[in-house]
Structure 1
Amino acid sequence: MDTKQYTPADYKSDQPVRWCPGCGDHAILNVLHKAMAEIGVAPHMTAVISGIGCSSRLPYYMNTYGFHTIHGRAAAIATGFKVANPDMTVWQISGDGDGLAIGGNHFIHAVRRNVDINLLLLNNKIYGLTKGQYSPTSDRGFVSKSSPYGTTEDPFIPAELVFGARGTFFARSIDVELATSQEVMVAAGRHRGTSVVELLQNCVIFNNGIHNHITDREYRADRTIHLRHGEKMLFGKEMNRGLVRDGFYLKAVELGKDGYTIDDVLVHDAHTQSNFLHQQLAMMDGQELPLAIGVIRDVDSPVYNEEIDAQIADVRAKKGFDTLRSMILAGEHWTVE
């Protein structure tokens, strides 16, 4: 960790931001600057890598190293960059289309390998850059330019992909929840391994208001729950509602009714290796149960790039070859067993 105290301005580039006025990406960008300053890794030791899409313009607005790469391939390039530069902190930026459609294969394998990268998935449930086609996260029946009569397929739920790939870190926030977004980004940056942060973001042009059922101030407190490790799972405007076990399922209850007390409310454990409850929490959608925001899962597991480095060092020590050149010049023959 650098001893210098950085400010958000240290991570801002001099490039004009070209997103549409009102786009949720503006808030996410500003929070990312603040989160990086809080984490304290120097700009020259940071790389921001993206694919293609509106959100993938983000590296231009960072005073760090960065790549604006090709469609869907950000995770692959971020993986290679991290393995080749293990001392660098790597952030990957992808939208729901870039990251989960053409990039879906790279997404799940980066998570499965547990590469030490921080993956921000900006989810507005639409293709924005190509002007309004439905994406892998669009709801069944969604009407768009490419589905004029409504989609006939079920969407990906990013959390399910992460847990299916045995992910070690998953968090979620909303573009209008600035403090929560900074909290989860900082936690992601300090996690060893692949951290996935889903950021529910509004596209004011092609999918305006898609998250209103949870973001509207009138009922946001009743339809979202901010999870913090070691704390009771409470929510609501009066913080008088909580999550309890109901057999194999979760249930929302009101304290003081039907005999439920604070002692019945579950305590969030983000660090337990079992992902059973984590998946249940991540699947809540703000309808019957509140949408979970905050750090849902944060566990330790072997890190891909660290394992690669250790393997290379071990092979070099056993073989006596430090480089390909030294191997070629070692002699005219050697024994392969």
Structure 2
Amino acid sequence: MLTADNLTVAYGRKTVVHGVSLSLDAATGAPAAGAQGGVALIGESGSGKTTIARALLGLVKPSSGTVRFADQDIHRLRRTARTDYRSRVQPVFQDGSEALNPRMTVGTSLREALRLRSDAGPTVDALLEAVGLDPQLAARHPHQLSGGQRQRVVIARALAVDPELLILDEPTSALDVTVQARVLDLLEELRTTAGLRYLLITHNLAVVPRLCDTVHVLFAGRVVESGPATEVLTSPAHPYTAALRDAIPRLGTPDAADTRSSAPPARLERSDAQTAATGCAFRLRCPAALDRCTTEAPTLRPLTDHREVACHHPHGPA
């Protein structure tokens, strides 16, 4: 359904996304039991996740590479086709207070989206009920809602145009843990009831298995590891992926089921000085960098039939 091929994006002279490729299949009904039908992009702040999302939405033009939807380059679509694309692929951003017009009531925002449909579409009340909100909230302005309510309104507005794919850019990061769980429950339910596919962009690895089967790990605008989400997060092959996984807070006393690495941890503090300009971009923060890492930048290569890693000394399954 949606494919990025060797996507590169630059802001002026600074390249922030380097040759990223990914694909997301079209929905053929609800996912099978145990399958999520989604793709995740994970990485720390500044890794290029949101820039990729903007390129996939047609908001940023690639420096090179293509983004194709239903086998058409989205940056070459004519006006009518572009409008159709933007109805079939909808964003859900992280902060509902910024995504909603503060001068519009909830009902007005939803009606504005519904006008883009060629058919009658659902009512405002039906949209609010679909995301678990009281229809009476239609009369309120965004500042009169809680953070969780605003995020549900953003999701309802995306659903108004009957999309096939939601690009979720940190959809729960602005919410407390309890509200996060409720929004994730909603997204899981909509995946089945509305037949949606998700492209999830997040730095919170804990939410990935709930919505996605496939994960791409980004560092400094490059994919450093990709594969089945459960395998990558359980047995990471790249030191950076292991550092992200090991940074997840865990409660209780570690036991035999704790699969975190015993190797020295990679540093996750973000600064330009910790991204190498030559060789492997991660080498200044890697606990096991080799001499080869100083001069030769690794490229993605197969690790197993379904996994790839860009590392000169990968760990994980042989």
TM range (shorter): 0.3 to 0.5
Higher-Rg structure is 1
Q: Which of 1 and 2 has higher RCO (CA within 8 Å, sep 6+)?
A: 2
TM-score (norm 2): 0.34
